[in-house]
Amino acid sequence: MRGKTLVISGGTRGIGKAIVYEFAANGVNIAFTYNSNEQLAQEQVKDLESNYGIKARAYNLNILEPETYKELFLQIDKDFDRVDFFISNAIISGRSVVGGYTKFMKLKPRGINNIFTATVNAFVIGAQEAAKRMEKIGGGSIISISSTGNLVYIENYAGHGTCKAAVEAMVRYAATELGEKNIRVNAVSGGPIDTDALRAFTNYEEVRDKTAELSPLGRMGQPSDLSGACLFLCSDKASWITGHTFIIDGGTTFK
């Protein structure tokens, strides 16, 4: 995989950061986005380049404005000569999910729409732009990060869970239509994974403890538990896998 290029949204924290370092350790050049902390992003660029001998660049992206992916990819074109992998990972939290992260009877269209935009629309536009570049080099791999919150009940997660179900359906459609271009599309569904985003949940401790209780492995998932699956799906060893959702849940959805 050395010399190939990964484009990933939300690469400075949690699952995204774990994926960035997993790919960099395998010689993949990295183009990642960040939302607000440019200093942190640039420090990560220096760390990646100095420790892994790869090329890395950071780009600002507001995932609630997914149409700006078009301009972002034009910037990437100037810095990299190819795009082999695209992972739609960035999520939203805080004020933007008010009315979306709550009980069913308190859900509001604005909150749900914001989550849908950041989850589904961002995947669509990012994947479209990536696929145009992949077609020029004979193929590639696209992944959307999902969540088992669309399979099992998580308190206050109706807005997120429904949008994750939608993006998994979109993945199957994209895989079916892009297969003729030798572009594979899959989803990696984790749940629950111990990240800053999850710690922002009002019932974080309850989710953490319940997950460890449900898992036969006796612990909560970590970002690194998903990064290896993403690397596999982008490798030649997964050359006949497309249109699927890989569930990485520590066995929790069976109980």
Q: What confidence score (pLDDT) does residue 102 get? A: 95
Residue 139 per-residue DSSP state: -
The domain segmentation of the chain, as residue ranges, is: 5-254
Kindly give, in sequence order, each residue whose CB lies less than 8 Å from that of residue 236, ignoring residues fewer than 6 positions away: none
pLDDT at 113 over 70: yes
pLDDT at 63 over 80: yes
Q: In what order do the strands lie in the sheet with 85-88?
A: 56-60, 29-34, 5-8, 85-88, 140-147, 183-190, 245-248
Q: What confidence score (pLDDT) does residue 255 get? A: 65
Residue 193 per-residue DSSP state: B
Q: What confidence score (pLDDT) does residue 123 get? A: 98
Q: What confidence score (pLDDT) does residue 154 get? A: 86
Instruction: Give the rounded percent of residues in the chain with a pLDDT score beyond 70.
Output: 100
More confident residue, 180 or 192: 180
Mean pLDDT of 185-193: 93
Would you call 164 a catalytic residue per the annotation?
yes
Cβ count near 59 (within 10 Å): 19
- CATH assignment of 5-254, among 3.40.50.300, 3.40.50.720, 3.90.800.10, 3.40.1280.10: 3.40.50.720
pLDDT at 253 over 70: yes
Catalytic residue among 70, 157, 173, 181: 157
Catalytic residue among 34, 52, 59, 164: 164
Mean pLDDT of 191-218: 84
Rounded Cα distance, 83 and 10, in Å: 17
